[in-house]
Amino acid sequence: MNAMFDPVADRIAALKDRLEAFMAEHVYPNERALLSERQEGVARWEPSPLLEELKGRARGEGLWNLFYNHGPEGQGLSNYEYTHLCELLGRSLAAPEVFNCNAPDVGNMEILAQYGTDEQKRCWLAPLLAGEIRSCFAMTEPAVASSDATNIETEIRRDGDDYVVTGRKWWITGAMSSRCKVAIVMGKSDPSAARHKQQSMILVPMDTPGVKVERPLSVYGYEHPPLGHAEIVFDGARVPAANMLLGEGRGFEIAQGRLGPGRIHHCMRFIGLGERAIETMCRRATDRKAFGSTLAEMGGVRQAIGQSRCEIEQARLVTLKAAWTMDRAGAKAARNEIAVAKIVVPTLVGAIIDRAIQVHGGAGLSQDVFLAEAFAETRFLRIGDGPDEVHREALARAELARHA
Ligand SMILES: Cc1cc2nc3c(=O)[nH]c(=O)nc-3n(C[C@H](O)[C@H](O)[C@H](O)COP(=O)(O)OP(=O)(O)OC[C@H]3O[C@@H](n4cnc5c(N)ncnc54)[C@H](O)[C@@H]3O)c2cc1C
């Protein structure tokens, strides 16, 4: 973005420069090591010394908790401002955790900051903000269509001064990590209440008896260590009543607050991935020759590059609009803009990365180039945080109501 026309970008220009320099000096040179080391055995769920070293550096340089604007632990940026920085750190799949800006911890920190009691914040938010522990968010269940969260069956039953949690969850990002110390679990506390008041969210420490992490799940074969995605069983896990978040029956209210910023952060990161895919595609096309000319001289490749520029600009604009609307009116009022970005960005950036893979030939599908894993990441988001169809349906409802 041109700072001349954007006073907001001006305000974060220094931070952006420092982040860019950090990425160049520490992240890109270590990217392969961060993404592929410890791919075997249980050790892959341990934090690598390299990751911890880079986290320490980022923190020391004030490039820490860039997303966080609920207190002095963050940088106090608006969503619109953070978009510019998140795009930069999104260029590498290895970067978000280096700056303590990774999913799902970011969303969980938002929940704790907004809805946690002082004690819940002391126990869980403080170590998360310090990057000392990791967390997970457990909503999806294998047995029910979880895109409709009213289907969720996990039971949260009051028993004296405790709640007892029973159910099976899967696709729980972060839960494979040996550092994952707490789950925010969504379940039903009162199946007889109104449809959107039956659900609650509760904090369940991962070392609670009855919590069992059963297996890792992979996305096109990528297990995403050291955080991973897990299938987990809660078999009568008993926690104090004080672990309830916000209050019984308020799970949906919390889910809305969490998923707004969370969805947008994925989109911001994907713009960075898309920009990097275009750069990589151009370099490869310029360097590589076939049938007497460089790939960059071929019409089909030039069309692919031109189309990709059109699409990344569209992706950026819908994301900035959603962030800007959230800053002005809150996540609830910005839900349509967030839904648009959540649908548009992974689809467009996925298409850009797919073209970049094609231009790379076999190398594009290999582990030597970041593109294949990046594609898998964009593909996941067409389902994760609610499938695109559900968001299109909500948009249609709003649109039809507007024109009724
Ligand atoms: C890599 C990854 C990470 C994830 N991380 C987490 C996590 O940390 N925590 C967590 O709780 N969950 C997580 N999820 C789960 C994710 O949020 C769910 O998979 C998603 O919400 C869809 O639920 P489902 O899989 O049960 O699909 P279902 O609900 O069974 O839906 C299947 C399909 O039905 C179609 N469909 C559904 N509704 C409609 C509609 N209204 N109109 C038209 N078609 C429709 C869509 O095509 C949809 O994809 C993750 C998933 C992945 C892949």
Burial of 396 from C-beta contacts in 10 A (0-12 / 13-18 / 19+):
exposed
Q: Write a three-state SS string for 221-284.
A: CECCCCCCEEEEEEEEEEEEHHHECCCCCCHHHHHHHHHHHHHHHHHHHHHHHHHHHHHHHHHH
Q: For residue range 342-372, what is the model confidence (pLDDT) as tens digits?
A: 999 999 999 999 999 999 999 999 999 999 9
pLDDT at 40: 74
**Per-residue confidence (pLDDT) for residue 8, from 0 to 100:** 66
Question: What is the model's pLDDT at position 169?
Answer: 98
Question: Using CA positions, which residue lies closest to atom 52 of ligand 1?
Answer: 384
Q: Which residue has the tokens 């979880």?
A: 146
Would you tell me which CATH number, out of the four given (2.70.98.60, 3.40.140.10, 3.40.190.10, 2.40.110.10), belongs to the domain 134-245? 2.40.110.10
Closest by CA to 344, choosing from 374, 376, 373, 378, is 378
Report how far apart, in Å, the C-alpha atoms of 193 and of each of 53, 223, 248, 250, 398 are. Answer: 49, 38, 11, 11, 26
pLDDT of residue 1: 46
pLDDT digits 0-9 by tens, 278-310: 999 999 999 999 999 999 999 999 999 999 999
Report which of residues 211 and 38 the model is more confident about. 211
CA of 69 to the centre of ligand 1 (A): 29
pLDDT at 4: 52
Give the pLDDT band (50/70/90) at residue 3: very low
| CATH ID of 252-402, from 1.10.3720.10, 1.20.140.10, 2.60.200.20, 1.10.150.240 | 1.20.140.10
Residue in 111, 115, 151 with CA at minimum distance from that of residue 128: 111
CB atoms within 10 A of CB 303: 11
Residues with CB under 6 A from ligand 1: 104, 137-140, 145-147, 171-173, 219, 229, 380, 383-387, 389-390, 393
Atom number, ligand 1, closest to the C-alpha of residue 382: 49
Token pair, residue 375, equals: 């594609």
- Residue 227 pLDDT > 60, yes or no? yes
* Substitution candidate for ligand 1 out of 105, 110, 135, 146 with most atoms within 8 A of CB: 146
Atom number in ligand 1 closest to CA 173: 8
Report the pLDDT averaged over residues 259-263. Answer: 75
d(CA 267, CA 273): 10
For residue 212, the one-letter residue type is: K
CA distance 356 to 297: 15
- CA 83 – CA 77 distance, rounded (Å): 9
pTM of the model: 0.95
pLDDT computed for residue 357 by the predictor: 98
Q: Whose CA is nearest to atom 25 of ligand 1?
A: 146
How far, in Å, CA of 71 to CA of 401, rounded?
38
CA–centroid distance, 351 to ligand 1, in Å, is 21
pLDDT for the residue 42: 80
Distance of alpha carbon 79 from alpha carbon 180, whole angstroms: 27
Q: Which of the listed residues 102, 137, 140 should we mutate to test ligand 1's pocket, taking the one with most ligand atoms within 8 A of CB?
A: 140
Instruction: Give residue 7's pLDDT.
Output: 63
In ligand 1, the atom with minimum distance to the C-alpha of 174 is 8
Class level of CATH domain 3-116: mainly alpha
Residue 10 banded pLDDT, cuts 50, 70, 90 = confident
Query: Taking all residues of the chain, what is their mean pLDDT, rounded to a whole number?
Result: 95
| pLDDT tens digits along 75-123 | 999 999 999 999 999 999 999 999 999 999 999 999 999 999 999 999 9
How many Å from the N-terminal Cα to the C-terminal Cα in the chain? 38
For the chain, the domains span 3-116, 134-245, 252-402
Encoded tokens for 109: 């920190």
DSSP secondary structure letter of residue 214:
E
Helix (H, G, I), strand (E, B) or coil at 34: helix
Indicate the SS3 state at residue 159: strand
